[in-house]
């Protein structure tokens, strides 16, 4: 179990503390939902969690196989629904892998990304398109 302590600061802003480490972050409501958009929104953190989780699980596999993934870049585009209830409709992810196309471990790395706990926890009706681009020389 990991405890996260969240305090509502007012003005649609919250602060959160990760109690095991003491690290903190702030969330703010997005401009399209009555907020100032001055920080990550809670749904932005879902998108961030997806990309970070995929990178971490791929990194675990890569570390075990001594595959250099440093510099890997992940972009997650979050699309909100236009109908009620307000929700994340799509998380479109592109992973730029710093390996050559056809690398023998590419299929295993892709399986690792798809097995990340965040991806596995998202609602099945949410669109989650994923693209891998191999950009090694």
Which two structure tokens, joined as six digits, stand for 100? Answer: 């050559």
Specify the 3-state DSSP secondary structure of 128.
Answer: coil
* CATH code of the domain containing 80: 3.30.300.20
Residues 89 and 68 in one domain: yes
Q: Is 14 in the same domain as 60?
A: no
Rounded Cα distance between 41 and 27, Å, is 5
pLDDT for position 124: 94
Which 8-state DSSP code applies to residue 33? G
Q: What is the mean pLDDT of the chain?
A: 96
The residues of the chain scoring below 70 in pLDDT are 137
Say if residue 71 is in the same domain as residue 9. no
Q: In terms of domains, do 72 and 129 share one?
A: yes
- pLDDT confidence of residue 136: 86
One domain, residues 82 and 102: yes
Q: What distance, in Å, lies between the first and last C-alpha atoms of the chain?
A: 42
What's the pTM?
0.95
Residues 53 and 19 reside in one and the same domain: no
Which DSSP helix (H) or strand (E) runs through 88? strand 88-97
Instruction: Quickly count: other Cβ atoms within 10 Å of residue 20's Cβ.
Output: 10
Strand pairing partners for 75?
Answer: 94
Q: Which domain holds residue 109?
A: 42-134
Domain count, the chain: 2
């Amino acid at each position: 179990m990991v405890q996260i302590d969240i305090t509502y600061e007012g003005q649609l802003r919250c602060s959160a503390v990760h109690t095991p480490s003491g690290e903190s972050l702030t969330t703010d409501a997005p401009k399209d939902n009555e907020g100032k958009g001055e920080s990550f929104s809670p749904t932005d953190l879902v998108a961030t969690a997806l990309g970070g989780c995929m990178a971490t699980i791929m990194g675990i596999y890569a570390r075990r196989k001594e595959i250099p993934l440093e510099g890997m870049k992940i972009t997650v585009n979050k699309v909100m629904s236009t109908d009620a209830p307000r929700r994340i409709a799509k998380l479109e992810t592109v992973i730029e892998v710093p390996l050559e196309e056809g690398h023998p471990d590419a299929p295993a790395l892709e399986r690792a990304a798809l097995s990340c706990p965040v991806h596995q926890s998202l609602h099945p009706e949410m669109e989650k398109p994923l693209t891998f681009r191999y950009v090694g020389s």
